[in-house]
């Protein structure tokens, strides 16, 4: 990544990496209204319960909450409206083939600004079972313990 390419992360979905096994990630643009962009710049976005869905060959972000812009007027946006994601056709075809497999879903990982444009990192993910989550927690605990012993 070059120095000219400044990235400002606005929101992350930390729960996604715990609940899902990430297979592949894609960067997508988001079709937004003006008041939505201002709210996102203020950090008023929540993607923890959101997901992406493919409808009629287009990818849509569902259930992402972008709070209304407090200085907005009657033209303010609906906080929970579906938002179109911008990907090229080849990427959309890959996503369609991934999501047709059983247990696969599209999960947003983070929202950020890149060169002034709002972008979202979208992951193709598979849901983890409870025992997988426990196994990951145990591995992290062992790693933390190992790091502590090295410091001493």
Per-residue pLDDT of the chain (152 residues; tens, 9 = 90+): 455 567 778 888 888 887 888 888 899 998 887 788 888 888 888 888 888 888 888 889 888 888 877 776 667 766 788 888 998 999 888 888 888 888 888 899 988 988 888 889 988 888 877 777 788 788 888 888 888 888 77
Q: What architecture does CATH give domain 7-151?
A: Beta Barrel (2.40)
The string of DSSP letters for the chain reads --SS--EEEEEE-HHHHHHEEEEEEEEEEE---HHHHHHHHTT-EE-TT-EEEEETTEEEEES-EEPPPTT--TTPPPTT--EEEE--HHHHHHHHHHHTSTTEEEEEEEEEEETTEEEEEEEEEEEPPHHHHHHHHHHHHHHHHHHHHHH-
């Amino acid at each position: 990544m070059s120095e000219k390419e400044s990235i400002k992360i606005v929101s992350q979905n930390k729960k996604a990496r715990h609940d899902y096994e990430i297979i592949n990630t894609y960067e997508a643009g988001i079709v937004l209204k003006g008041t939505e962009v201002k709210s996102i710049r203020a950090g008023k976005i929540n993607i923890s319960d959101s997901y992406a869905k493919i409808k009629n060959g287009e990818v849509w972000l569902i259930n992402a909450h972008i709070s209304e812009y407090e200085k907005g007027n009657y033209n303010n946006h609906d906080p929970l409206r579906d938002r179109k994601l911008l990907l090229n056709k080849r990427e959309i075809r890959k996503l369609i083939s991934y999501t047709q497999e059983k247990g696969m879903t599209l999960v947003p990982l983070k929202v950020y600004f890149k060169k002034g444009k709002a972008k979202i990192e979208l992951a193709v993910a598979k849901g983890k079972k409870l025992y997988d989550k426990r196994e990951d927690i145990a591995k992290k605990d062992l790693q933390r313990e190992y790091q502590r012993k090295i410091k001493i």
